[in-house]
A = this chain, B = another copy of it.
Amino acid sequence: MKPKITLKDIAKELDVSISTVSKALKNSKEISKETKDKIKAFAKFYNYRPNNIALSLKNKRTKNIGVVIPDIVHHFFTTVFRGIEKYANEMGYNVIVCISDESFDKEVINMEMLANGSIDGFILSLSAETQKKNDFTHLKELLDQGIPIVLFDRISAEIDCDKVVLNDFEIAREAVSHFIATGSKKIALITTERYFNVSESRKEGYVAALKANEIEVDNRLILTLPHDRDNTNLITEFFQHNEIEAILCVNEMFAVQCMSIIQQLGYAVPEDISIIGFTDGILSRYSSPKLSTIAQHGEKMGELAAKLLINRMESVQMVEEPFKTEVINATLIKRGSTIN
């Protein structure tokens, strides 16, 4: 057991002052070559590394960024996180993750915890509860304290900070237009009540595409599913009661579930019914037929969010760079569940 060595230890051992050691290790020209060599050799031998905590205290920056996401067992968030971690790491930052678990309280508590010095900035995606409550005082207070925040995917217009979002509206419109172009008219939307801003935009895109093609919006063709329950019966009923030619689902779980139920009901995919999902995850790639889906480019999104944050943290003036909202362009990947 050889515990970590400090400047003080080196100083004592070599009979010089702490300042001399510090300067020598930073190669200051204030120190003579012999002394520097001696100190460096000693430090190297004992594998001296400066203490990050002490540095953080001194420099008033931790080189840590806090990431708060609603859920980690979710392909999209996982890939975004990967992007964040990758870029942050390259730039010499560490990442502290907190999972809000879709809970407002957890989000608040975790952020306040981290904000007391542990991190230099936040990247987060709002929890479902926070979106429902529409209460952003915790975020506003942090911004007020001068802690930069970057919001991604689940954002709110009420919060004045950098943001990264997907062009949900446009890509949903594109997906539905593709259905229409390949001959479908009775197009269903399967959505969730939870991801507010995101699913709203997707729905609007869906509606816009229909209207642009003079197809009437039939609310019976929009199925809103709870997120954490078994929806098999709801979905089955839905398809028994409605004649449908194409389905847009707001996530890949709904999409494969629909596909499987449809196939069991005797329809062929994509000949009878086409399907497009959101999230180019593992499910989409391993289903049969392979699912046509909307790639959200989570990793890119994460990288961009990290870049925005780090830029802002490191910009010296810090003052009046206006807040940006960057848009990631989703891609419609046409695979086996659509007619292409």
Contact = CB atoms under 8 A, between A and B. Distances in A.
A75 B73 CA distance: 7
A197 interface: no
A64 B260 contact: no
A340 interface: no
Contacts of A1: 144-146
Interface in A138-177: 141, 144-146
A121 to B, nearest CB: 14
Contacts of A282: 253, 281-283
A51 B56 CA distance: 11
Given A56-B53, A95-B96, A81 B89 contact: no
A256 B282 CA distance: 11
A73 B64 contact: no
A317 to B, nearest CB: 14
Interface stretch (A111-119, A242-250, A303-311): A111-119
Interface footprint category on A: 35 or more
Q: How many copies does the complex hold?
A: 2
Contact of A82 (B75, B95, B99, B264): B99
A49 B98 contact: no
A315 interface: no
Specify which of A79, A99, A117, A281 lies most central, judged by the most chain B CB atoms within 10 Å of its CB.
A117
A78 interface: yes
B89 A54 contact: no
B64 A96 contact: yes
22 contacts: A2-B145, A3-B146, A4-B117, A50-B116, A52-B116, A52-B118, A53-B117, A57-B57, A64-B96, A72-B78, A72-B81, A73-B75, A73-B78, A86-B99, A89-B99, A89-B110, A94-B96, A94-B114, A96-B96, A260-B288, A264-B288, A283-B283
Interface of A: 1-4, 47, 49-54, 56-57, 62, 64, 72-73, 75, 78-79, 81-82, 85-86, 89, 94-99, 110, 112-118, 141, 144-146, 253, 256-257, 260, 263-264, 281-283, 286-288
Given A49-B116, A54-B57, A94-B114, 12 more contacts: A2-B144, A3-B145, A4-B117, A52-B117, A53-B53, A57-B57, A85-B98, A94-B98, A96-B96, A263-B288, A283-B283, A283-B286
